[in-house]
Amino acid sequence: MWAAQKSVADVPKDECECNGQEVAEARDPEIAGSPSSSQEPKITLIESRAQMSIAGPVIFGDMFHNLADGFVLGAAFKSCDPSFAMKITLVTMAHEVPQELADFMILVHHAGMNWKLAALVNFLSGCSTLVGAVIAHGMDVSEEVEGITLAAGAGIYLYVAATELGPSVAHLPHLKRGSSLCKASLARLLAFALGAICIGLVLLDHKHCTPVYPSSAEGAGAAADAGGHNHG
């Protein structure tokens, strides 16, 4: 009896603290089920990797695409008359604005970047246009190199669209009562078509120019076609 009636003071302090923690966990299941601080860095690392799986391809795809645009602009100012080169510049800007806005929204809403970092990354990626223009103006860039660059950028964009963004766009959220699945699908299809039309309109009058060679008869024909040729 005397041994069972030991005072609390005789119990070690560490044992009291451990017992108190166990009692608190037993009383509050949320405390017992809460993740420890050692698990938080792992969760943060997983989230950062998931964000980079979206941000990385978007940034590199945009960089390759802008580099190819720079090749076109540099060749235009080198081989074409200034008025036609300015027209190519305006056409390039017309399709770059919606593309860069789309990239910005992806970096902010899907990759989890804050808008300042997303704007900075977009600006640095856009600087590859200047790099491509300087390279094309200073040296001859073959059509094969330009095509490979465009194909690399397009392939990265297709990867992002098919693996990261496509499933989230195709997945329809839980619809409210009275809403129609057909209407929701049609709305997303129309939004996609509108974006494709905005990008495709600038290609209706898209032309290439050829260098002018006035010293030969063959060059006279090239000079007559210096304004460019249509794709269609």
Give per-residue pLDDT as tens, 189-199. Answer: 888 788 778 76
176 part of a folded domain: no
Using one digit for the tens of pLDDT, what is the confidence trace for 93-130? 877 887 788 888 888 887 888 889 889 998 998 899 89
- What value does the mean pLDDT take over residues 162-173? 66
**Tally of domains in the chain:** 1
44 part of a folded domain: no
With beta carbons less than 8 A apart as the criterion, state whether 57 and 125 touch: no
| Residue 120 confidence (pLDDT) | 92
207 part of a folded domain: yes
29 part of a folded domain: no
193: Cα separation from own chain's centroid:
19
Q: Among 61, 212, 77, 210, which residue's Cα sits nearest to residue 135?
A: 77
Average pLDDT in the chain: 69
Cα distances from 8 to residues 5, 11, 12, 20, 155, in angstroms, run 9, 5, 9, 13, 72
DSSP 36-103: PTTTHHHHHHHHHHHHHHHHHHHHHHHHHHHHHHHHHHHHHHHHS-HHHHHHHHHHHHHHHHHHHHHH
10 part of a folded domain: no
Binned at pLDDT 50, 70 and 90, residue 210 comes out as low
- What value does the mean pLDDT take over residues 150-166? 72
2 part of a folded domain: no
28 part of a folded domain: no
Q: Which residue has the tokens 């000079």?
A: 223
pLDDT at 136 > cutoff 60: yes
pLDDT at 15 > cutoff 80: no
pTM beyond 0.85, yes or no: no
Domain that holds residue 159: 54-164+193-230
76: Cα separation from own chain's centroid:
28
